């Protein structure tokens, strides 16, 4: 019920429940997408009204026990959505203590406070918990409509005869970087402490109109590149680009779903459908941006392998953390959980579409905002 004591009603005529949500990492692109998507839905999803308290790092340091306890005492959340993270993948290699404090200890403290107060937790994790090495490739689901020929040849997976649908939740994590190790430790802590009262969602290659991300970086570089100077983009890392607004829709619908009380621990993968290399992603960004007149000229884009790219970065004094060679995610489990065989039940038409459709929706939004 609302504080003014005026009941709101769901379409079935039943009184609508109000869910209080503590949203961490308020300055992140996903937090901003969550707030934007919820506002467009008039703060209602599937018969529930949401009241959100979004706290930035300055307001809530999730790696500090007292800060977490104070936030819970003030907000009294029914749900917590943890978008706070240490995302500086390369810096984490030399700042492991801070990466683990935020990405591992932080989720553990949130989960412990949820256990004390009865709140539930949605925790966001990463495809970087995987390595993409052959041991993981053997655990992938097979699909004849998976990777493009160029992706397969670049990834080296053609030799094994595998055409992939993406990593499922049953694939064994083998993080290559400190960042990936810290994210894995965080999700394990959450599931250990809260079990079925938590949802861990691994996502990949996240982008949107807010914050720093690959799409916005490519648009800036393409717009400012000197005439004829090519951009070099990695072609042997394969993943699934994911629009932040689509992930936000998924999160609200999962929280609002009556299914959230059933079953055991909930580990889900969600990403845009399909898969590509960073190089193919860059080509598609440019193609769509030119069509939308976000760019006024095409820029040459050349493919480069990871080792060569890292060597060039090292020449400039930048040491890169290792990235997974293959980390495309299979979203079948969460799709079946949420919709069964009926994708029309979702609020977002791009939710289960190919990553190119999600990119189109984001770029149209970007153009409309005049960014």
Return the active site residues.
Answer: 179
Handedness of CA 8, 47, 1, 249 (dihedral sign): negative
What is the distance between the alpha carbons of residues 243 and 208, in angstroms, rounded to a whole number?
A: 6
What is the distance between the alpha carbons of residues 44 and 184, in angstroms, rounded to a whole number?
A: 32
Q: Give yes or no for a contact between 92 and 185, defined as CB atoms under 8 angstroms apart.
A: no
Percentages of the chain per state (helix, strand, coil), in multiples of 5: 45, 20, 40
Token representation of residue 109: 């403290």
Tokens 């937790």 found at: 121
Give the H or E element holding residue 166: strand 164-166
Q: Which residues pair with 233 in a beta bridge?
A: 303
């Amino acid at each position: 019920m609302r504080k003014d004591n005026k009941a709101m009603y769901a379409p079935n005529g039943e009184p609508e429940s109000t869910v209080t949500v503590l949203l961490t990492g308020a300055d992140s692109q996903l937090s901003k997408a969550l707030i934007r998507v919820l506002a467009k839905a008039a703060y209602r999803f599937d018969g529930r009204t949401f009241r959100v308290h979004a706290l930035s790092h300055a307001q809530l340091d999730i790696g500090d026990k007292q800060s977490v306890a104070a936030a819970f005492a003030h907000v009294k959340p029914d749900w917590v959505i943890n978008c706070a993270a240490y995302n500086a993948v390369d810096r984490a290699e030399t700042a492991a203590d801070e990466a683990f404090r935020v990405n591992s200890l932080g989720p553990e403290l949130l989960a412990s406070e949820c256990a004390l107060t009865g709140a539930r937790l949605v925790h966001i994790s990463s495809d970087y918990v995987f390595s993409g090495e052959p041991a993981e490739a053997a655990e992938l689901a097979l699909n004849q409509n998976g990777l493009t020929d160029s992706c397969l040849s670049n990834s080296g997976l053609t030799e094994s005869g595998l055409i992939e649908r993406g990593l499922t939740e049953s694939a064994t994590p083998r993080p290559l970087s400190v960042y990936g190790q810290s994210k894995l430790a965080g999700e394990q802590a959450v599931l250990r402490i809260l079990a079925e009262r938590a949802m861990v969602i691994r996502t990949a290659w996240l982008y949107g109109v807010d914050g720093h991300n690959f799409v916005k970086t490519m648009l800036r570089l393409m717009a400012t590149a000197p005439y004829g100077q090519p951009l070099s983009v990695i072609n042997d890392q394969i993943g699934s680009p994911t629009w932040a607004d689509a992930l936000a829709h998924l999160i609200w619908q999962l929280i609002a779903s009556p299914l959230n009380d059933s079953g055991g621990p909930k580990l889900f993968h969600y990403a845009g459908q399909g898969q590509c290399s960073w190089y193919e992603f860059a080509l598609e960004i440019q193609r769509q941006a030119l069509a939308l007149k976000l760019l006024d000229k095409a820029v040459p884009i050349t493919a480069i392998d990871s080792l060569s790219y890292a060597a060039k970065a090292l020449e400039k004094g930048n040491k890169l953390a290792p990235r997974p060679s293959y980390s495309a995610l299979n979203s079948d489990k969460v799709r079946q959980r949420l919709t069964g065989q009926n994708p029309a039940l979702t609020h977002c038409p791009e939710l289960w579409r190919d990553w190119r459709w999600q990119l189109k929706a984001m770029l149209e939004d970007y153009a409309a905002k005049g960014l």
